[in-house]
Amino acid sequence: MRKYILTCICPSYIVSEINKTFYLRDTWVLSEKEYNQPFVQRLLRMGVFSVAIKQECRMKKKPPTTKIPPFVKMRGGVPKTTPTPPSQQGVSEQSLKDIVQAEMAQMKQQIVQEISGELSSMLQQQGGAQMDMEALGKLITQSIQASLPVGGVAPAQQVQATPIDEDDEPIYIPSNITGSGIVSGSSMSVESISTDDSVSDAASALRAMKKKRKK
Amino acid sequence: MSKKKQLGVGIDLGTMNIVSARQGEKGIDIRRIRDAFLDLDLSAKKMLKLSGVDFIERENEILLIGDAALETANVFGQEARRPLSQGLISAGEIDAIEVLGILVRHVLGEPTEKNEVCYFSIPAAPVDDLTRDVIYHEGVFERIVQECGYDAVASNEAMAIIFSDCAKEGFSGLAISFGAGMCNIALAINTIEGLCFSVARGGDWIDAGASKATGSTQSKITALKEAGIDLLNPKTREEEALAVYYKSLIKYCLKHIANEFKKIKGKFSMPKPIPLVISGGTSKAGGFVEFFQQVFEEQRSRFPIEISEIRHAKDPLNAVALGLYVQAQNEYDED
C-alpha cells in the first residue's frame, strides 16, 4: 500500500477542506485515495506541499544474521575452517622470550664462524702484514647483514573499512513521465537557431584520437 | 560524411535553460527552452487565447511552460516555478518531473531513427553539500530521454565543455561551467577525466546574496544582471554588490579546485600547462572573463595547476549541449 507524505514548503497555509493550518515542514500523511482528492492535487500544484511516496510492502523475514566487521569479512566460497582451540591461540611471554633468545644465539654463532673463517684467510693472504682495519669493518658488516633473515614483516597498512551494504535504499523513479496523459492542449514555443558547424573540428579531432589509440 | 554521422543528439539540462544540439541541414541546430513553468486556473484560458500565448491544458488547470511562463508570471503577479533547484531535481516534486518530461520532449523532438544516441548532461556531486541527490536526478532524466525514444547516455556537464572547446589542446583542460544552480568543474588530459566535482553555488546564489545585501528583491537583481552589468566598472550599489558576490563565487571555485586537485596530485601527471575554459549563463555578465583573470592572478601563486590561458567558451550558453553532441556523434563513427 502506498502512503503519501506531504511536507509543507510554505511558511503557513490553511487547508479549508480539513480546517487545518499547516506550517513550514509540517507533514501530512495520506492514503492513495485521500491523495487523489482534487483539493490535495490543487495544493500540490500550487506548491504548498512537496510530496514523498512511501511504498509499504510485506517482506519475508530474513533469518537474523550476525554482522561481521568488514576487516574480517570473508569472500563467499571460502571453506569454513574449524575454530582453533583457545589454548593454542595465546602464546606465553616466556616461551616467546625463549624462542627469541635461541634464535639470537644461533645468529651470533653464525656471525662469529663467518668472521673467523674470513679473517684467517685474509691473514694468510697478507702474510702476517698489518691488518687493513677498513676491510675488517666491511667484512663484519657484510657478515651481520648476511646472517640477518631476508625479508621481514611489512609495516601494517591501514585497511580502509568497506561499508557493509545496509539494505540498499531503493530509489523510486516514476515511470511514464512524458506520456502521463495530462498534456492535451496547444504547443509551446521553442527557440531554435542554426549555427555553423563550430564543432566539426572537435568531432574530427576526437575521431583521429580514437583511431590513434586503436593503433 | 556518411549518413550515419548525422545522427546523435546532445541535451544540456540546466537550472535555467534546456538546450539541445544536433546536426541540421545548414549546420548545428540548437533548440532552447526556458526551464520554468506556471500553473493557472482554467479561467485564464480565454485571456491567454486572446493574447496568443501557447499553453497546455491539464485536467483542471492551464500550464504555461518555458519563456511564456516567465513573461506571464508578472502579469498575474505570481512567481514562475522552476523544476530544478540548485541544478538538481528534488525528490518528491512530482509536478516538476512531469513538466521536465514535457520540456525535454519538446526540445528533443522525435529521434531520427529508433534509439538514436542522446547524451544528456548531469552535474557532478557537489563537494560542499553532500545531501544533494545526483543519482535520483540522473535516473529521472535517463527515463525521460528513453521515453522520448532515444538511447540515453549520461555525461558530465563540465566534461562536455572539454569536448566542445579544447580540441586544439587534445581535449586537455580545466573547464568551469558557471550555471544558475551550481558550478561544475572538470579537469581532463587527452579526454581522460582526472577530476570532476561541483559546488552548490551559482548565479542564483549571487542574486540571493546581492539582494540581501542591498535590501532589494532577488527578481530585481536577476533582471538587473540580465540587462547587462559591467563587473569591472560597477556603477550602482546593486552592481557593486553583484561584483562582490561574483568575486566570492570565483574565489570559492578556485579554492575548491585547489583542494580537490591536492587529493589526486600524485596520481595524475600533467605534462604541460592547460587552458582554463569558462562557460555557462552566469559567465555572460559583462567583463566576466577579465574579472575572473584578475581574481585568478591574485591566487595564481597558490594555485596547484599550471594554466596556459584563461578563455571564454566559443558559445558559452550552448557549449555543454555542443560538447554532448560531439560525444553522441562519436558513437556513430565507423571503426
Please list the pLDDT of chain B residue by residue as tens digits (335 residues). Answer: 444 557 999 999 999 899 999 998 888 999 999 888 888 888 888 887 787 777 777 777 888 888 888 778 767 767 788 888 888 986 666 678 888 998 999 899 999 999 999 999 999 999 998 888 788 899 999 999 999 999 999 999 999 999 999 999 999 999 999 999 999 999 999 999 999 999 999 999 999 999 999 988 877 788 788 788 899 999 899 999 999 999 999 999 999 999 999 888 777 778 899 999 999 999 999 999 999 999 999 989 989 999 999 999 999 999 999 999 999 999 987 65
- The phi and psi torsions of A75 (rounded to 5 degrees) equal -70, 150
What are the extents of the domains in chain A?
2-55, 94-148
ipTM strictly over 0.90?
no
For chain A, give the mean pLDDT: 67
Residue of B nearest to A4 (CA): B92
| Partner residue facing B95 (CB), from A45, A179, A214 | A45
B164-312 CATH choice from 3.30.230.10, 3.30.420.40, 3.40.50.300, 3.30.2320.50:
3.30.420.40
Burial class (CB in 10 A: 0-12, 13-18, 19+), B79: middle
- Longest CA–CA separation in chain A, Å: 118
pLDDT at B119: 97
- What burial class does residue A114 get, using C-beta atoms within 10 Å of its C-beta: 0-12 exposed, 13-18 middle, 19+ buried? middle
Give the one of B31, B139, B314 whose C-beta lies nearest to A171's C-beta. Answer: B139
Residue B268's Cβ-side half-sphere holds a number of Cα atoms within 13 Å equal to 19
The answer, yes or no, to whether residue A80 has pLDDT greater than 70, is no
CA–CA dist A126, B235 (Å, integer): 96
pLDDT at B163: 96
A2 Cα to chain B: minimum distance (Å): 14
A127-136: long-range contacts, CB 8 A cutoff, minimum separation 24: none
State how far the Cα of B86 lies from the Cα of B15, in Å rounded to an integer. 7
CA distance A208 to A196: 21
Q: How confident is the model at residue A139 (pLDDT cuts 50, 70, 90)?
A: low
SS3 B246: helix
The pLDDT of residue B81: 84
Q: Tell me the three cell numbers of residue B219.
A: 527578481
- Nearest CB to B144: which of A177, A199, A202? A177
What pLDDT shows up at residue A152?
A: 36
Asked whether the predicted pLDDT for residue A83 surpasses 60, the reply is no
Lowest mean per-residue pLDDT among A1-5, A15-19, A129-133, B161-165: A129-133
Which of A53, A195, A199 faces B326 most closely, judged by CB atoms?
A199
C-alpha distances in angstroms, B314 versus A39, A68, B277? 49, 55, 10
Q: Say what the pLDDT of residue B107 is.
A: 93
Strands B17-23 and B150-156: unpaired
Interhelix angle A38-45/B94-108, rounded to 10 degrees, is: 60
CA distance B224 to B78: 19
Q: Would you say residue A65 has pLDDT above 80?
A: no
Using CA coordinates, name the residue in chain B closest to A178. Answer: B101
Residues of A whose CB is below 8 A from B29: 192-194
Nearest CA in chain B to A201: B167
Q: Is A202 close to B95, i.e. CB distance below 8 A?
A: no
Q: Which residue of B has its CA nearest to A192?
A: B31
What is the count of residue pairs from A and B with beta carbons less than 8 Å apart?
A: 162
